[in-house]
Amino acid sequence: ISDSFLKKLTENEHSDAWSPNVILARYYVENFIENCVFQLEITDKHNLNSARLIILDSTKKLAEVLLRNNQFKALNVLINFWIEIIENFIKDSSRDSRKVVANLRFVIEELLKLKNETNPSINEVFRALGWIGEKYLLENSSEKKTFMPKSFGESSDFSNLMNVVLGVQGTLNNELPGWYPLIYFDAVNVIFWRVLESKSLDAADLHNTIFNLIYIFTSFAESAIVVGNHRGAELSVLRIDGAIQKLHTAGLKDLEKTAIELLLDVGSTASGHREKLVDKNLLPTQIDDWIIEKLAGYTNGDNLKSEVFEVYLRGKGSIEGRREFIIKLGERLGSNFDLNFSRSTTKI
Residues sharing a CB contact under 8 Å with residue 2, sequence separation 6 or more, in sequence order: 65
N- to C-terminal Cα separation, the chain: 68
Model pLDDT, residue 273: 95
Residues sharing a CB contact under 8 Å with residue 36, sequence separation 6 or more, in sequence order: 55, 58, 59, 81
pLDDT band at residue 146 under the 50/70/90 scheme: very low
Model pLDDT, residue 342: 63
Task: Report the run of H or E that residue 187 belongs to, with start and end.
Answer: helix 182-197
Q: What is the largest CA-CA distance in the chain?
A: 80
Model pLDDT, residue 295: 97
pLDDT digits (tens, 9 = 90+) for 84-128: 988 876 555 578 888 999 999 999 999 999 999 999 999 999 999
Written as one string, the DSSP assignment of 231-280 is HHHHHHHHHHHHHHHHHHHHT-HHHHHHHHHHHHHHHHHHHHTGGG----
CA angle 40, 42, 47 (to 5 degrees): 90
Residue 147 carries which DSSP code? S
pTM of the model as a whole: 0.89
The answer, yes or no, to whether residue 138 has pLDDT greater than 50, is yes
pLDDT digits (tens, 9 = 90+) for 2-20: 677 777 775 444 455 567 7
Question: Angle at which helices 72-88 and 94-114 pack, to 10 degrees?
Answer: 160
Rounded CA gap, 204 and 76, in Å? 36
Model pLDDT, residue 224: 97
Rounded CA gap, 79 and 85, in Å? 10
Task: Report the run of H or E that residue 314 belongs to, with start and end.
Answer: helix 305-314
CA angle 305, 309, 312 (to 5 degrees): 140
Q: Is 94 in contact with 152 (CB distance < 8 Å)?
A: no
Model pLDDT, residue 12: 46
The answer, yes or no, to whether residue 144 has pLDDT greater than 60, is no
DSSP lists the bridge partners of residue 345 as 342
Residues sharing a CB contact under 8 Å with residue 172, sequence separation 6 or more, in sequence order: 112, 179, 181, 184, 220, 223
DSSP lists the bridge partners of residue 342 as 345
pLDDT digits (tens, 9 = 90+) for 56-94: 999 999 999 999 988 999 999 999 999 998 887 655 557
Average pLDDT, the chain: 88
What three-state secondary structure class fits 189?
A: helix
pLDDT band at residue 186 under the 50/70/90 scheme: very high
Model pLDDT, residue 340: 74
More confident residue, 65 or 198: 65
Rounded CA gap, 292 and 263, in Å? 9
Of the listed ranges 110-119, 149-158, 224-233, 281-290, the least confidently predicted one is 149-158
What three-state secondary structure class fits 287?
A: helix
Rounded CA gap, 321 and 315, in Å? 10
The answer, yes or no, to whether residue 230 has pLDDT greater than 90, is yes
Max avg pLDDT among 54-63, 134-143, 192-201: 54-63
**Letter for the amino acid at 297?**
G
More confident residue, 216 or 12: 216
Residues sharing a CB contact under 8 Å with residue 270, sequence separation 6 or more, in sequence order: 225, 233, 277, 286, 287, 288, 291, 317, 325
The answer, yes or no, to whether residue 185 has pLDDT greater than 90, is yes
Q: Is 273 exposed, middle or buried (0-12, 13-18, 19+ CB in 10 A)?
A: buried
